[in-house]
Amino acid sequence: MTERPYSLLHNLRGDTLVAVGRTGSCTARALLADIRRVALRLQGVPPGEVLVVCEDRYRFAVGLLAAWHAGRAVALPPNTQRELIHHLASQPGIVEVLRDTDNLPGVDLRALERGDDPIDGADEPISSVLRLAPTQHLATVYTSGSTGQHQACPKTTAQLVGEAMVLADQFGVTPGQRVLATVPPHHIYGLLFGALVPLVAGACFIRDTPFHAESVAAAARAHAADILVSVPAHLRSLTVLEPGSTPAFSHVFSSGAPLLESTARALRERLDLVVTEVFGSSETGGIAYRIHTAADEPWTPLHGLEVSRHPNGHLMLDSPFLAPDTARPYESQDRIDLLEDGRFVLLGRVDGVIKIGGKRVAIAELERRLLDVPQVRDAAVASIAVGGARGQKLVAAVALEPDAVGDAPTPASLRRELLKWFDPVVLPRRVKIVDALPREASGKLTRRKLLALFEAAAGEPAPAELREFEFRSHTVRSRGAAEIHEFTVYVPPELVYFHGHFDGHPVLPGVAQMLGLVLDRVGALASSFGHPRRLQKLKFRRQIRPGDELQLVLEVDHEVRRVVFVLSREGEPCTTGTVDYAIRASDARRS
């Protein structure tokens, strides 16, 4: 007996709002018109997969659904680096590229998006469109994997649309709700929660993908977001926001990596946000969820899934989201304790526990302890085989908060912190402070990219032009007791700070702005100030990208040893703040 097709858009009506954002709002009727328009463009394309590379979530949805409407599957890249996209586009089986950015091959969806223009069949009910066979191959999701080699994961309708329907039902996503995602839509988690779940639920998604704390809060307020879809690294940055900065989300979702208890607690106490963690993988789809109110909160399997425990401790899974040819139950590399009520406790990855000098250590525990250190923003640990009695050695890379000045952690102090918890033999042999870990937009960090940080350190120093900003002009004037210094600064695209921050969307990290621009200039102008004591009123308002020309204004007050700075582009502030180089007497008494 033939299985019934999946109706992807069954909850949409013509005037249902499906997308809002800086580039405009769109109804289901406009979405259907754009789908048909792009699908017609694909009719003459040979059979094969369509690579969809869009920053705008609405255009991504148009490309995705148009390909399915035309009977094509889509390929979704692990990131949007131009070199990778050109490489994938040249692979056999890729017959077209749908994009919304410049300097890439393929069809520019911006030229085909024309809103509510009438087209043939526009009066057809939305729910009758995109009725997809359960076994139809819809997509190939490329994951980064743990080694950095991109793994292709084919997905059928039953896997993708079926999971979206279960998630919408499981978490009560309803028509009219608005979903804001900080995760790009080409990532499986961003695809499901940020695009497919809203569509199958008749809800609305926000077109933009912010990830800095201020921009996330601003987008959520501007578009009245009800649901936030994010990852631990982005959620951690939200903890610096002032209470009341975000709407009262009905759901805050997190996936892709373990959520630290300290982050979850800070979000609850500071912003009154309770996080729902979702556990799964690209290969298995979603597996379970938990409302994060405690570090040891058990996981509840999603509706329709069966979780059991192998005698060796591994999680065993039977799920409709597994590939059709997967042996069931599927044995994962996660270790669990299974509770009597069907919930389970995660004990870590089998491949995440190693022995060093005969002593066992969990890499995730080392990372968690590093992240607990004040002023540490991100951390990652990797093992390297060395043979001999040790067998393995560990290396750790740590990124500090953008305002980490004064008594900021050092490699030596971080090792001392770890000594409080671990035997000396298992401590990382090298700890490196970096501006940012080279994570992908999904929050993942591959082993290859992590180890590359240490390979680079072992080689020759980077050329000076890769480390320096270009200060092209400097003027000075007086205002009372203060000197006003104005600089014109060019940001070279080759600047080392852009490496890994972020792949496909390079952004100048806040720590680079403070150390390489503000504090460096103040040190040259007022060396007698010594070390900065306090950073106040720091605001990152706009992103700084490769090739930008900036204006840096420093108001240096020698009497109170204070510097007020404004970093702007074309008259619009990018970063502002105040640096105190002396502690006021009242502050000294309080301390």
Give the pLDDT means over successive 10-residue stretches in the chain (591 positions): 81 94 93 93 90 95 96 89 82 92 87 60 69 94 57 92 97 97 92 97 96 92 97 87 93 88 90 95 93 87 96 94 93 91 86 66 85 90 67 86 80 86 79 88 78 62 47 85 90 71 77 80 77 84 90 92 94 93 51 37
469-475 long-range contacts, CB within 8 A, separation 24+: 469/495, 469/516, 469/517, 471/521
The token pair at 132 is 């997809």
Tokens 């405690």, located at residue = 294
**Which three-class secondary structure string do you get for 111-122?**
HCCCCCCCCCCC
- Classify 357-458 by CATH class: alpha beta
Interatomic CA distance for residues 581 and 532, integer angstroms: 4
Q: Which of 574, 583, 580 is nearest to 555 (CA)?
A: 580
The token pair at 290 is 């938990």
DSSP label at 414? Answer: H
Global pTM value: 0.68
383 in Cβ contact with 147 (< 8 Å):
no
pLDDT at position 534 is 83
Architecture label for domain 465-590: Roll (3.10)
pLDDT at position 351 is 65
Q: Which helix (H) or strand (E) holds 309?
A: strand 306-309
pLDDT at position 83 is 75
Q: Where are the domains of the chain?
A: 357-458, 465-590
107 in Cβ contact with 63 (< 8 Å):
no
Judging by beta carbons within 10 Å of its beta carbon (0-12, 13-18, 19+), is residue 151 exposed, middle or buried? middle
What is the pairing mode between strands 227-230 and 251-254?
parallel
pLDDT at position 91 is 87
pLDDT at position 590 is 40
Q: Which of 209, 200, 207, 196 is nearest to 175 (CA)?
A: 200
pLDDT at position 501 is 67
pLDDT at position 567 is 96
pLDDT at position 79 is 76
Establish whether domains 357-458 and 465-590 are of one fold: no
pLDDT at position 586 is 42
Q: Which of 169, 166, 208 is nearest to 190 (CA)?
A: 208
**CA torsion sign, 457 to 461 to 463 to 467?**
positive
Q: How far apart are the first and last CA of the chain?
A: 76
Q: Where are the alpha helices (DSSP H) in 420-516?
A: 447-458, 510-512
Q: How many CB atoms lie within 10 A of CB 420?
A: 7
